[in-house]
């Protein structure tokens, strides 16, 4: 693999490499350690403008029913009571702005939709790698994190009051592949 060194070389249309991407979360629980999990089904596309990151676009959709915490009972409660899967099967993010902080760090702003509620969110993102694979496809790796108040999106359940913290850390490690 060859390494890509300039941001301008990365301009193009990309799809998410779901086999090399993790979309996760962590929330405090008053009984025991924090609850960590991830989503297993998701996808999206991006247009990255290496010369002017503010012109970049991202659309990303998560299948809410794919939530996984390795506890089936908890997963069912999260799907039903917290995420209201029957009425809101997806979680979506659409980029509305991007600002380059330094050579590898970006501030992304966008609209996050959970349970049919759309609110702005800001994500700190670091480009952790960029290279051309053996087939010549450009691959870029990013990691990032944002903390949200789940109640702002209507994610709550009366029986869980005081048991699950309202702050949820959204964590991701993303790989995208340029389309040819």
Which domains occur in the chain, in start order? 2-178 (2.40.128.110)
pLDDT at 121: 97
Whole-number Å distance between alpha carbons of 143 and 98: 15
DSSP letter for 79, please: I
Residue 158 pLDDT level (bands cut at 50, 70, 90): low
pLDDT at 2: 54
Does residue 68 contact residue 93 with C-beta atoms inside 8 Å? Answer: no
H-type alpha helices, the chain:
72-77
Q: Tell me the whole-structure pTM to 2 decimals.
A: 0.89
Between 137 and 143, residue with greater pLDDT: 143
Residues 6+ apart with CB under 8 A from 73: none
Convert the pLDDT of each residue in 95-107 to its tens digit.
Answer: 999 999 998 999 9
Residue 120 pLDDT level (bands cut at 50, 70, 90): very high
Convert the pLDDT of each residue in 46-77 to its tens digit.
Answer: 999 989 999 999 999 999 999 999 999 989 98
Does residue 144 contact residue 122 with C-beta atoms inside 8 Å? Answer: no
Supply the mean pLDDT for the chain.
90
Mean pLDDT, rounded, for 72-88? 92
Residue 3 pLDDT level (bands cut at 50, 70, 90): low
Q: What are 99's two structure tokens?
A: 């600002």
């Amino acid at each position: 693999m060859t390494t890509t060194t300039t941001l301008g070389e990365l301009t193009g249309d990309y799809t998410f490499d779901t086999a090399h991407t993790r979309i996760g979360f962590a929330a405090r629980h008053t009984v025991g350690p924090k609850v960590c999990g991830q989503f297993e089904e998701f996808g999206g596309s991006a247009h990255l403008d290496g010369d002017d990151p503010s012109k970049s676009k991202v659309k990303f959709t998560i299948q809410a029913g794919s939530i996984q915490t390795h506890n089936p009972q908890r997963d069912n409660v999260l799907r039903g009571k917290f995420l209201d899967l029957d009425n809101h099967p997806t979680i979506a993010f659409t980029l509305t702005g991007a600002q380059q902080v330094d050579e590898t760090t970006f501030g992304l702003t966008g609209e996050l939709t959970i349970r049919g509620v759309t609110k702005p969110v800001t994500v700190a993102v670091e480009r952790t790698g960029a290279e051309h694979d053996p087939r010549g496809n450009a691959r870029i790796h990013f990691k990032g994190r944002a903390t949200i108040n789940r109640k702002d999106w209507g994610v709550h359940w009366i029986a869980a009051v005081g048991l699950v913290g309202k702050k949820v850390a959204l964590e991701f490690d993303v790989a995208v592949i340029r389309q040819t």
